[in-house]
Structure 1
Amino acid sequence: MKAVRFSEHGGRDVIGYGESEEPTRKEGEVLIDVKAAALNHLDVWTRRGLPGIDLNMPHVPGSDAAGVVVDGGATRFDEGDGVAVWSGVACGDCEFCRNGDEPLCTSFHIIGEHVEGVHAERVSVPAENLVRVPDDVDMKRAAAAPLVFGTAWRMLVTRAGLRPTENVLVLGASGGVGHACVQIARHAGATVYATAGSDEKAETARKLGAERVFDYTDENFADAVREATDGRGVDVVVDHVGKETWRDSLASLAKGGRLVTCGATTGGDATTDINRIFWNQLDVYGSTMATRGEVDDVLSLVWEGALEPRIRATLPMSEAKEGHRMLEERDGFGKVVLVPDTEL
């Protein structure tokens, strides 16, 4: 069996694709023949090395995959079932899990980040981390959806409580989480504004439902938002960029507005305008991953076609380095999907 692997943290040169040990299905797990896997920025950060996470090397990365069950053991899955992987793992027994809030689990961890991932020809995954994929759904589409759409759904629907009459600003609309947020907000009936770094990306964001798209390389998006909303600002801002955009994100909010964040790609040590927060009575929400129920809800909309994971490129798994480059250099719009070389 072959898998994407790295034996040390570093640049893209540490990524390899070669022989790896066959997975052994443990009790409660399901053995899957992977048909497609998707890249996330999390794979880039894991490869570079994350503070406080000491991985067993060599490490197989990857949090998103879809495939066909080879051995379901004594689970609800049978041989031949199509499944997609949800990568958030919770203990099921702590106070947060018992209250139905799995992402707050005291031992919460992510497949591909904290433990071995799914960028391989075959993987063994806990049954509770699998979602059924209907026969008419393409495996590449199924692989591209779970992490970003699950994360985006929790951010907007659960944490920010987005309502149909509101307006929302989505930063980085060309990325995985960003393009999912644009679609979910539009599906919820909100007016969507977005930022993008090129005319091509802006046009795609408009096709997905953004009413206005601001080029963050050419204008101050906070000023542009104020102008577009007659000085009012937006009800919700989705910011997963962090340090570079934080002050302008807060400045884009209307009085009583909410900022929700799931990450900080440009750094977590942002400067916060505390005066603006208390005077305008703003709320700031953190959000991580999703519950399995939230994943079921949003993927049902993906399966029926109401939401669509955009795929910027499909590459052989042996070309994982190129996929990492595309993410790091922001080359294209949407997700990068890897397909095992044996499936091509």
Structure 2
Amino acid sequence: MRYINLPEYGGPEVMQLAEGEKPLPAAGEVLIEVKAAGVNRPDVFQRMGLYPPPPGASPILGLEVAGKIVALGEGVARWRVGDEVCALANGGGYAEFCTVPAGQCLPVPEGLSLVDAAALPETFFTVWSNVFDRAGLRAGESLLVHGGSSGIGTTAIQLAANLGAQVFATAGSDEKCAACEKLGADKAVNYKSQDFVEVLREATDGRGVDVILDMVGGDYVDRNIQLAARDGRIVNIAFLQGSRVRVDMLPVMLKRLTLTGSTLRPQSAEAKAAIARSLEQKAWPLLAAGKIRPQISATFPLEQVAEAHRLMESNSHIGKIVLTL
């Protein structure tokens, strides 16, 4: 099979198109003939040597794929050869074939192409497990999504808005803010020209925000604490501006805040399968009904993976970047 090899860590140029042996599915796994693979920020970090794959995972980049099942491992009951699925991979997505635990596969939602479907797993699994499972966002509450124009952001805005929450977002340009509001955000704040704490305090009549999803870190940690409502929950899923911070913890105690976070990739197959079941029950009907749509910023053929990573690192995209095979 063709795949993207990473012979050394570095910039986008270190990735090379190579040929190797097709993997075989182990017990409980399926083999997918990949037609499209999502590009995500963890792929960039892995390429740079900052996010090594967990033990036993494929060293090949790529955490989400869509395609056709071509082989079944022992004990796989639900899926059949020929089924079209999208899947959260533990690695190995930048390739013509990828093995995935069967429980991490989901059917391609009705009306979506395989390119659309490849843009779903990483962001939907991440948003659901952090915003709804971990932070417990409920209808009638408010959510602030930092990085609202990212793949994670566009997913979180749509899911929360469709499930009855008031949604706010931050983004780095007026164009990106307009895109967030078009997707369902009640208000998006251009963080380059406005103070999101001040703007959103006013927008909530001083109450603050119930749940904050943050991938920025740095000084946003303290600002999130300032903005959070009583009994608020702040969830960190990345630290693009650094994870070492100094904060005043007194407001955490006085407002009874919960500070939490998670990473998805190291979690067990059982935990990921549970998230998949929740998504199929709660989110997949919204996709099939057209109420939520994956936002595809750009597609690149597999051999142009370097260009895809350069676009990711430019932060100029809105939504997802997808490789096609």
Query: What TM-score, normalized by structure 1, do the two folds share?
Result: 0.85
Name the residue aligned to 2:47: 47
Identical columns (%): 38
CA distance in 2, matches of 1:156, 1:27: 32
Match 1:335 to one of 310, 317, 320: 320
Q: CA deviation at 1:54?
A: 8.3
CA distance in 1, matches of 2:309, 2:21: 23
CA distance in 2, matches of 1:259, 1:24: 41
For residues 216-264 of structure 1, the C-alpha deviation after alignment (integer angstroms, 9 at most, x for no partner) is 1111111111121222211111111111411111111122222112221
Match 2:272 to one of 291, 308, 312: 291
CA distance in 2, matches of 1:51, 1:124: 20
Q: What letter matches 1:141 in structure 2? A: D
**Cα distance 1:83–1:165, how it changes in 2: closer, same or farther (>3 A)?**
same
Name the residue aligned to 2:195: 220
| Contact in 2 for aligned 1:162/1:188 (Cα 8 Å) | no
CA distance in 1, matches of 2:245, 2:191: 18
CA distance in 1, matches of 2:186, 2:322: 28
Q: Structure 2: where are the runs of 5+ without partners?
A: 265-270
Name the residue aligned to 2:36: 36
Name the residue aligned to 1:11: 11
Query: What TM-score, normalized by structure 2, do the two folds share?
Result: 0.89
Name the residue aligned to 1:314: 299
Q: What letter matches 2:81 in structure 1? A: E
For residues 37-93 of structure 1, the C-alpha deviation after alignment (integer angstroms, 9 at most, x for no partner) is 00110100111112676889x941000101001122542322211011123xxxxxx
Task: Output aligned runs, 1:140-179, within 5 Å.
Answer: 140-179=115-154
Secondary structure in 2 aligned to 1:291?
helix
Q: CA deviation at 1:273?
A: 1.9
For residues 128-168 of structure 1, the C-alpha deviation after alignment (integer angstroms, 9 at most, x for no partner) is 33222256431011110011111101112111111212112
Name the residue aligned to 2:267: none
Secondary structure in 1 aligned to 2:62?
coil
Q: CA deviation at 1:267?
A: 1.5
* 2:148 is equivalent to residue 188 of structure 1: no
Secondary structure in 2 aligned to 1:272?
coil
* 2:62 is equivalent to residue 81 of structure 1: no
Q: CA deviation at 1:182?
A: 0.9
Match 1:231 to one of 188, 206, 209: 206
| Contact in 2 for aligned 1:174/1:201 (Cα 8 Å) | yes
Q: CA deviation at 1:214?
A: 0.4
Match 1:261 to one of 228, 231, 236: 236
Q: What letter matches 1:297 in structure 2? A: S
**Cα distance 1:127–1:294, how it changes in 2: closer, same or farther (>3 A)?**
closer
Q: CA deviation at 1:304?
A: 4.0
Name the residue aligned to 2:220: 245
CA distance in 1, matches of 2:227, 2:63: 33
| Contact in 2 for aligned 1:174/1:205 (Cα 8 Å) | yes
| Contact in 2 for aligned 1:236/1:259 (Cα 8 Å) | yes
| Contact in 1 for aligned 2:103/2:276 (Cα 8 Å) | no
| Contact in 1 for aligned 2:104/2:276 (Cα 8 Å) | no
| Contact in 2 for aligned 1:234/1:254 (Cα 8 Å) | yes
CA distance in 2, matches of 1:259, 1:332: 26
Q: CA deviation at 1:285?
A: 2.1
For residues 255-309 of structure 1, the C-alpha deviation after alignment (integer angstroms, 9 at most, x for no partner) is 2222112221221112222122112221112233363232233252334433222
| Contact in 2 for aligned 1:7/1:59 (Cα 8 Å) | no
Secondary structure in 1 aligned to 2:234?
strand
Q: CA deviation at 1:319?
A: 0.8
CA distance in 2, matches of 1:147, 1:54: 16
CA distance in 2, matches of 1:52, 1:335: 22
For residues 107-145 of structure 1, the C-alpha deviation after alignment (integer angstroms, 9 at most, x for no partner) is xxxx12xxxx21111122232332222564310111100
CA distance in 2, matches of 1:260, 1:225: 18
Secondary structure in 2 aligned to 1:17?
strand
Q: CA deviation at 1:200?
A: 1.4
